[in-house]
Amino acid sequence: MSAKRTERLLTLVIMLLSSRRGFTKEDLFSEIDLYREATSSAAREKLFDRDKAALREQGIPLESFSEDAMFDNDNTVQRYRINAEDYRLGGVSFLPEEYAVLNLAAGVWDQGSLDSAASRALRKLSSRSTDGDVELTPLIQPRITTDAPYWDIVWQALTSRSPLRFPYRAASTGREEVRTIHPWGMGARFGHWYVVGYDTTREAERFFRLSRMTGEPVVLGGTFEVPASFDMNRTLSSLSRTEPDRTAVVAVRPGSCQVLRVRKDTEVTRTGQEWDLLRVPYAASSPMAATIAGLGVNARVEEPQELVTEVARLLDGAYEAAGKAPRDLEITDGVRPAPRRKASSQDHLLRLLDLVPYLLAHPGAEIGETARRFEISESQLTKDLDLLFVSGPRHYPDALMDVNIEDGRIYLSNARDLAEPVKLSMDEACSLIVGLQALQELTGMRDNEAIVSAQTKLSIAAGDAARIGNAVATKLTEDDLDPTLEVLQAALQGGVRIAVDYFVPTRDEITHRLLEPIRIFLHQDTWYLEAWSTEANGLRNFRLDRIQSARLTEEPATAGRDEVSLARTRRTSSPYRAAEADQTVTLVLEPSARWIAAQYNAEAVQELGEDRLAARLRVASSAWIPGLVAGLGGSAAVSAPNAVREETLRWLEAARAHHALT
């Protein structure tokens, strides 16, 4: 980033805020030394145009006007100012418990588009929080991810109210068509992000799943109005999963295939020494066929024939891919770090504009604590303070800020024009408003008074930006999980153990466990319970959708406090725990199966060209790997170790022969 450009932008903001009458360009060029350093008048003009655009891009309300209406279109007599009322955050203050739930709301965003916006919003509101530190450790920890394809582009069209055009493959027909919509809202449900809007071709409101866009969307010119009655929360609630409308008759070996037996409304119509017969409802052939293919020789479809054919196709594809997979592929790239956006002068400017009101609201703030709050190093904070000291109009030295550091504490004065935080931008408002809505949906928090009052005050503080609360929504839990969540929440609050029946797909069995719950967290749209297992005498993670039953006991939880504290304070959560006895398996993934790397927390990945990926997974047992690749039908194959590769080939060969008997 350029410190000179940041200084120039900050000085420009200070000057434009200081006068209701505003300044001409010549006034500004005269007062701000860094404009006079331009090599020519044309370069100076271009520099000023870039700076105006940068301020407006960051939501700073820079106005241009003429004192004489006859010269409105004459740039040479234009005056510029920042309207202080439009610039400053609404005058509300938050109680400690309200600021604590705002912290929780900011924390629900996973690293991505709105994660940094949430941090900026909290910094601004911190100067409006009354004294009294209140920290909440949520027992239920939701996470919202924004890693869906083209999320940022759709967000840009939504917030600017610009039409959007994109190629799209419909699930119902499989055909690819170019669609043009007026995006009214975005929402996340069932593990997917959707955009909702007016389809200009169908002339009706339509849902579109971002992952079904087959190419990069284009933001078009023009604008539109969103119907006053539109509410994304209500619209998202109307979206439902496809209900089962078909039934499969499946023969399964006794005691096996629990994944089919525990499905809702499955019927056991016959039992026998060699085979049980199940009637299993399902909605779509592809996921059902993948499930049955993954069961290998323990299941066989009796009817319908289309499902028989689909299972055979998956097994043939998996076997062919397994034979062609390279042997013992070595990954050399290591783990890819998450991409970090390069900091810009605009980012630096926003931090400085947040820093000034924070320091004025907290006189004597300690350097280390301030640096941590702004997520920068102490040396960077010192540079920021030096920049504040020198920024301002040169001909008015009494207008410069005074910065003093005494005994490691910061004192700032003479900064009246920057004393109030900048109003919340659209993405900042969205991050907290939607975060609070997500928290309020959770079992045990629906009637939380602090959340309700924080929502009300936040809407006032956000002003016009608060409209985003009707345009973005998430639904992180479904009704079928609520009973389990209620039991787990009661156990967490009461500090007692729970007894659960738990389905273990890798061993194809239902086990009985005695657990001491520690927290509930969301990862990749799947809810997990982190608990102390009395049988294993250690921490384990359990998927909530695999808990068949859960009941409270009267036995107190006795897990070690250090383990519990460690688990509760982790910012990021992964359902997979490494152990010394773990082994590694390297898979070759086709484009449609790249999600495996993220879903199973690959410890290393490497691009192979043509959008194929090699991923090395750490697993406690490799017994479930053949079933995984079978269900993927050739989109994944084992490369290493060779013993697992050969075992997978034998497993697939036997499964193909078994299903060929149908």
What are the b/e assignments for 193-215, b being 16+ CB within 10 Å? bbbbbbbeeeeeebebbbebbee
> What separation in angstroms does the CA of 273 have from each of 262, 269, 277, 296, 481?
20, 14, 11, 19, 35
Dihedral sign, CA of 593, 595, 598, 604?
positive
Tell me the average pLDDT of the chain: 85
> End-to-end alpha-carbon separation of the chain, Å?
66
pLDDT band at 344 (very low <50, low <70, confident <90, very high): low
Nearest of 205, 209, 197 to residue 242 by alpha carbon: 209
State the average pLDDT over residues 587-605. Answer: 87
- Tens digit of pLDDT for each residue in 190-236? 878 999 999 999 999 999 999 889 899 999 999 999 999 999 988 98
The full set of domain ranges for the chain reads 479-569, 583-659
> What separation in angstroms does the CA of 439 have from each of 116, 152, 379, 521?
19, 23, 36, 12
Question: Can you give the pLDDT at residue 382?
Answer: 93
Residue 494 has pLDDT above 70, yes or no: yes
DSSP state of 539: E
pLDDT band at 69 (very low <50, low <70, confident <90, very high): low
Nearest of 151, 149, 183, 148 to residue 165 by alpha carbon: 183
Question: Can you give the pLDDT at residue 111?
Answer: 57
Lowest mean pLDDT among 14-23, 58-67, 557-566, 594-603: 557-566
Among the residues of 296-366, which ranges form H helices?
Answer: 305-324, 345-361
CA 195, CA 188: separation in Å to the nearest integer? 9
Q: Which residue's entry shows tokens 């499955």?
A: 266
Nearest of 417, 381, 383, 411 to residue 398 by alpha carbon: 417
Residue 561 has pLDDT above 50, yes or no: no
| AA identity, residue 511 | T
Angle value at C-alpha 505, between 504 and 510, nearest 5 degrees: 40
Question: Can you give the pLDDT at residue 210?
Answer: 92
Q: Which residues contact 269 (CB under 8 A, 6 or more apart)?
A: 249, 277, 278, 279
List, as own/partner pairs, every contact residues 562-568 make where C-beta atoms lie below 8 angstroms and the sequence separation is at least 24, other chains included: 563/518, 563/532, 563/539, 564/518, 564/532, 567/518, 567/519, 567/530, 567/539, 568/137, 568/518, 568/519
| AA identity, residue 653 | E
CA 431, CA 113: separation in Å to the nearest integer? 10
Nearest of 394, 300, 308, 356 to residue 11 by alpha carbon: 394
Q: Which residues contact 637 (CB under 8 A, 6 or more apart)?
A: 318, 321, 322, 324, 325, 587, 588, 629, 648
pLDDT band at 103 (very low <50, low <70, confident <90, very high): confident
CB atoms within 10 A of CB 355: 24
Joined tokens for residue 124: 């601004």
Nearest of 124, 18, 64, 133 to residue 462 by alpha carbon: 124
Q: Which residue's entry shows tokens 């869906």?
A: 148
Dihedral sign, CA of 295, 299, 303, 305?
positive
Joined tokens for residue 607: 């691009």
CA 566, CA 342: separation in Å to the nearest integer? 32
Is-contact 93 129, C-beta < 8 A? yes
Of 561 and 602, more confident: 602
Q: Which residue's entry shows tokens 């590694």?
A: 584
At 24, phi and psi to the nearest 5? -80, 170
Residue 48 has pLDDT above 70, yes or no: yes
State the average pLDDT over residues 145-158. Answer: 88
pLDDT band at 186 (very low <50, low <70, confident <90, very high): very high
At 417, phi and psi to the nearest 5? -70, -25
pLDDT band at 565 (very low <50, low <70, confident <90, very high): very low
| AA identity, residue 444 | G
| AA identity, residue 578 | A
Angle value at C-alpha 352, between 347 and 356, nearest 5 degrees: 155
Q: What CATH architecture applies to the domain 479-569?
A: Roll (2.30)
CA 471, CA 457: separation in Å to the nearest integer? 19
Q: Bin 432: left if φ > 0, else alpha if -120 < ψ < 50, else beta.
A: alpha
Joined tokens for residue 127: 């100067």
Q: Bin 278: left if φ > 0, else alpha if -120 < ψ < 50, else beta.
A: beta
Of 578 and 636, more confident: 636
Joined tokens for residue 86: 């439009």
The size of the chain, in residues, is 662
Cross-strand pairs, 280: 248
Residue 91 has pLDDT above 80, yes or no: no
List, as own/partner pairs, every contact residues 324-329 make where C-beta atoms lie below 8 angstroms and the sequence separation is at least 24, other chains included: 324/637, 325/588, 325/637, 325/638, 325/639, 325/645, 326/588, 326/639, 327/639, 327/640, 327/642, 327/645, 328/639, 328/640, 328/641, 328/642, 329/586, 329/588, 329/614, 329/639, 329/640
Q: Which residues contact 178 (CB under 8 A, 6 or more apart)?
A: 165, 166, 167, 168
- Tens digit of pLDDT for each residue in 376-390? 899 999 999 999 888
Joined tokens for residue 243: 């209900």
State the average pLDDT over residues 281-297. Answer: 90
CA 485, CA 520: separation in Å to the nearest integer? 9
Is-contact 144 108, C-beta < 8 A? yes
State the average pLDDT over residues 273-296. Answer: 92
Cross-strand pairs, 209: 194
At 75, phi and psi to the nearest 5? -65, -20
Residue percentage of the chain with pLDDT more than 70:
89
Nearest of 82, 77, 126, 117 to residue 425 by alpha carbon: 117
Question: Can you give the pLDDT at residue 477?
Answer: 79
Q: Which residues contact 377 (CB under 8 A, 6 or more apart)?
A: 371
Nearest of 632, 637, 631 to residue 649 by alpha carbon: 637
CA 661, CA 655: separation in Å to the nearest integer? 10
Is-contact 78 92, C-beta < 8 A? no
Joined tokens for residue 551: 């009941």
